[in-house]
A and B are shown apart, each in its own frame.
Chain A
């Protein structure tokens, strides 16, 4: 297959760094787009946490930032809800979907399977720039009349469908939100097709499926989830726009009376239809966010424990069954929605089934560590942190997956704690692990390990301090998406818990400065990286750091071994590169 890399690397700045066709540059572009987004998303969460515990304490610069929505320096509840909506949306779409898959996946999938580039470089470039446009449109929602939407990242109609009358932000802000999400769907579909085609067609000689690093397996399954999920979300978004702008009734029933006004002209729509379509995407989306993190964690645990993956095949089957079952459990988000209560039993049973492969992965991670010789690099610490958070965030799902128990926990802070623990911070730990691990390959320099370790420990304790108390608040019955808690009497005794979480959030956010300083300082001043600083087996570590334009400098790599051949007896080194035809043996 001829690729643009057969020619010389482009020299102009625009073609090299802006509209680049090189999967490595595109991967870095996605990474920095995600980094920019996570800083916005995190800032929004800090503003929310401030408001929740100080709803009536004015802040001078709030009034400068939002002259009407925070007049006098006090946030209105609609401003709080728009920060919440945008926090969720930006984090889910532009961080959790973007960095682990489109960022690291773009950079390392082709290299790990021995390809020169993605299958469709132009499509790859288009998918990045389409994502960029989606982000611009999303952020623009802050600056229009009425501000950003307040219907949450799930945008349930009729709140999201009936227009400005349901609240400020439900006018142009909500429209921009839907358009942005639709554009994002296009971008993700382009990316997904590219990932699947690349992995199926461009594996080098000897790279059988069962020799692939687990990262590649998770990127493949994530791409399949994206292909099927984003297609449905795109359709749902189009229907929602039609309801809002053209007067169709997909989600709007007859007989609505909103804000003292009869909403005429709609009949036959179902608010539940949106929920089904949204969660048919939305549940796989959870796995889109976490699967690549599982892949990275597996890679790091094997590398730094110097052991083969325990139960590689079981891991592959677990990834595949998570991908498959991920499409059959969306109804567990809807136990309280008014859908047929009998279907809840089916969704609950399938939900418990999807817990099984997740548990298998945890067992195999522990098995991988067992008998290892663990090197505690920063990357490894984040992988170990991932396992701990994955367990903590996973077990609370056993409560929520039961419709009977959801009768109380639905839409409480128990849910907020659960998904932040697992799809929020566990996934982000996967990204941190990936960053500390692959930074030397991507930029040719090492990150500072001492700062890295301090960053890890403080973040690890910080996220537990933020999200553990949320489970207790859920048990108290604290509803989520409340701008403040002064109107519910039984919440008065837990305001101090909220206060604690707010301080923990300030602390944890502050700690991230260490990461930013480390990242940017190391970009220019870090110690030069060798080709394989971690003594790792996969293909990206057999080429220079950073890799040349066509990855393998014209050589066609041939793979001889599985991905994780560590500590094989009789071999001199404690690792065998996948491409090494004759590993040096110890004297018999």
Chain B
């Protein structure tokens, strides 16, 4: 029968793609990223085996039990087998999800460390803006009515508030390597999504909500990483892209000083 070898060939081809890794994740740049990859690999091994065995078995019964004019076995099943595979699957699936719990907890249950650098993210159709509190460590007051993108004030920072004087606004995200970062995610119009592949992290940005997201890269993560919007936000969704530039702490401090002074 033609079908059995086709199913086997497809199963082998699919397994090959996951082993060859021609199209794959970029290397992670954080401990969370490493943990993520470990959980992915655990799941991949389990799922890969289940997938391969199921397809091979399907091909086998197709090849083996074709009609040869004889009579089929009469059987209504076997309760013992039912309970075996029910409990085996339940155990397997539930342990996988439990093993991933720590990774999820690290992102969402734990608070950002108190010394994390706060950065406010403002997403809008179809651009990103990032705000740093400047040298005083305080964000200035903002007002929706003062928002003016073309005048370089996408956050609507109130210049009457002294805390806002040295707030830095940037169209790309700049962070120091190896330091804890706390993003405060805001959208002013529709839902967007902040995603950095190398961080293995993603979070919707919802108007009307303030969603925190904290992470810390490896000290050696210096480089530029892409941030593509990952929640449908309208016709320019595919163009809504910025970068995350990871700098050495010294370079970051230098940039911050210069940028804060330039604001004043």
Contact = CB atoms under 8 A, between A and B. Distances in A.
A65 to B, nearest CB: 18
Given A372-B72, A391-B54, A167 B40 contact: no
A567 B6 contact: no
Contacts of A355: 89, 93
A307 B75 contact: yes
A486 B44 CA distance: 30
A349 interface: yes
Interface stretch (B56-64, B160-168, B253-261): B56-64
Given A341-B104, A398-B43, A372 B190 contact: no
Given A338-B204, A345-B101, A387 B189 contact: no
Interface in B143-194: 144-145, 147, 149, 188-191, 193
Contacts of B71: 306, 373, 567, 569, 574
Interface stretch (B21-29, B111-119, B131-139): B21-29
B63 to A, nearest CB: 10
Nearest to B83: A314
Contact of B202 (A364, A381, A395, A407): A407
A256 B125 CA distance: 12
Interface string A478-493: 0101111101111000
B17 to A, nearest CB: 6
Interface stretch (A95-103, A266-274, A509-517): A266-274
A475 B24 contact: yes
- The CB with the most chain A CB atoms within 10 A, among B94, B96, B204, is that of B204
B216 interface: no
A306 B72 contact: yes
Given A403-B104, A482-B237, A272 B206 contact: yes
Given A338-B206, A373-B71, A395-B47, A258 B231 contact: no
- The CB with the most chain A CB atoms within 10 A, among B70, B188, B238, is that of B238
A171 to B, nearest CB: 13
B198 to A, nearest CB: 9
A482 B238 contact: yes
A261 to B, nearest CB: 10
Contacts of A136: none
Given A367-B81, A407-B200, A568 B96 contact: no
- Which range contains the number of B residues in contact with the other chain? 35 or more
Interface residues of A, number: 115
Interface in A394-449: 395-396, 398-399, 401-408, 410-412
Contacts of A306: 67, 71-72
A10 B191 CA distance: 54
Contacts of A411: 193, 195, 202, 230-232
Nearest to A473: B23
A77 interface: yes
A404 B100 contact: yes
B55 to A, nearest CB: 6
A258 B235 contact: no
A381 B78 CA distance: 26
A336 B77 CA distance: 42
A349 B97 contact: yes
A314 B82 contact: yes
A405 B36 contact: yes
Contacts, number: 334
Given A256-B188, A341-B108, A475-B23, A308 B96 contact: no
A336 B204 contact: yes
Interface in A340-387: 341-342, 344-345, 348-349, 351-353, 355-356, 359-360, 362-364, 366-367, 369-376, 381, 384-385, 387
Interface in A139-191: 150-152, 156, 158-159, 162, 166-168
Given A253-B208, A487-B241, A384 B58 contact: yes
A499 interface: no
Nearest to A574: B71
A336 B203 contact: yes
A43 interface: no
Nearest to B59: A388
Secondary structure dominating the interface of B: mixed
A125 interface: no
B222 interface: no
Interface string A20-44: 0000000000000000000000000
B28 to A, nearest CB: 10
B10 A464 contact: yes
Interface string B222-254: 000010111111111111010000000000000
B47 A336 contact: no
A388 B55 contact: yes
A310 B238 contact: no
Contacts of B145: 262
Contacts of B72: 305-307, 371-373, 566-567, 574
A121 interface: no
Given A355-B89, A391-B58, A404 B104 contact: yes
B67 A259 contact: no
A328 to B, nearest CB: 15
- The CB with the most chain B CB atoms within 10 A, among A150, A262, A348, is that of A348
B75 A472 contact: no
Given A338-B209, A353-B90, A398-B93, A271 B202 contact: no
Contact of A479 (B75, B97, B204, B228): B228
Contact of B230 (A259, A310, A374, A479): A479
A166 B204 contact: no
Contacts of A408: 25, 36, 40, 197, 200-202
Contacts of A247: none
In the A-B complex, list the 4 residue pairs whose CB atoms are closest, starting with the nearest. Answer: A253-B208, A371-B73, A341-B108, A404-B100
24 contacts: A81-B232, A166-B189, A167-B235, A257-B189, A258-B125, A269-B208, A270-B208, A271-B206, A271-B207, A338-B204, A348-B100, A353-B90, A353-B93, A391-B55, A403-B104, A404-B36, A405-B100, A408-B25, A481-B232, A487-B228, A487-B238, A487-B239, A566-B74, A574-B71
Given A360-B86, A482-B237, 8 more contacts: A305-B72, A306-B67, A307-B74, A314-B79, A398-B46, A398-B47, A461-B6, A468-B10
Interface of B: 1-3, 6-7, 10, 13-14, 17, 22-26, 36, 39-40, 43, 46-47, 50-51, 54-55, 57-58, 61-62, 65-79, 81-82, 85-86, 89-90, 93-94, 96-97, 100-101, 103-104, 107-109, 124-125, 144-145, 147, 149, 188-191, 193, 195, 197, 200-209, 211, 226, 228-239, 241
